[in-house]
Amino acid sequence: MNTTIYLLIAAVVILPTLLILFQYLGFPGSIQYVGWKISGIWKNGSGTFQVLIHNNGPIVRGHVVWANENDQTEKRKLIGALVLKEVQLKPFWRWSKGTYIDPITNQEFPLRLRLRNNKNLSVHFFESLNGEVLIKEEWELVNPLL
C-alpha cells in the first residue's frame, strides 16, 4: 500500500515538476542548458577584465563590465566593449565557436570555448580560422546571472 502511494506522488508531483524545470532550463548538456549555465560575469585568465556573457537562444555575446586599468580614459573605452561576438553554442561536451574582439586593438580572432564545470570556462584564441592556438585561458565565474 505504501509503495503505491509513493509511486502516485512521484507521478503526480515530481515528474511534472521535473518536466517544467527541463523545459525552462533545458536538459542537462543541451544547448539551452549550456546557455543558462554560461550566462554570468566571468573573469579572464589574467584578471585584467570581467565579461558579462549573455545568451540569446543558441548565440552568446560578451561585454566588458569591469577592467583593471589605472588610466581612466582607457577604462572608459574598455567598459561596455563587445569581446565575444556571435558565439554559436554547442552541447556541453563540444566546443562552441565564435569571434573574440580584442578590446584594446579591436582585432578579431576565432575563438572556441567550453564549460569545464559550473565555475570554469576554457577559452582558446586562434590565429586564424584553421590556425594555431594563440592563447589558452581558463576563465572563472564571478557572478552567475541565476
Domain CATH for 112: 2.40.128.520
Residue 7 lies in a domain: no
Block residue for cell numbers 559550473: 118
Q: Which of 114, 116, 115, 109 is nearest to 132 (CA)?
A: 109
pLDDT in tens, 89-142: 988 788 999 999 998 889 999 999 998 888 999 999 888 767 788 889 999 999
Residue 8 lies in a domain: no
Residue 23 lies in a domain: no
pLDDT in tens, 53-74: 998 888 999 999 998 877 777 7
Residue 96 lies in a domain: yes
Domains of the chain: total:
1
Q: What is the pTM of this model?
A: 0.76
Q: Which of 109, 100, 114, 108 is nearest to 131 (CA)?
A: 109
Residue 18 lies in a domain: no
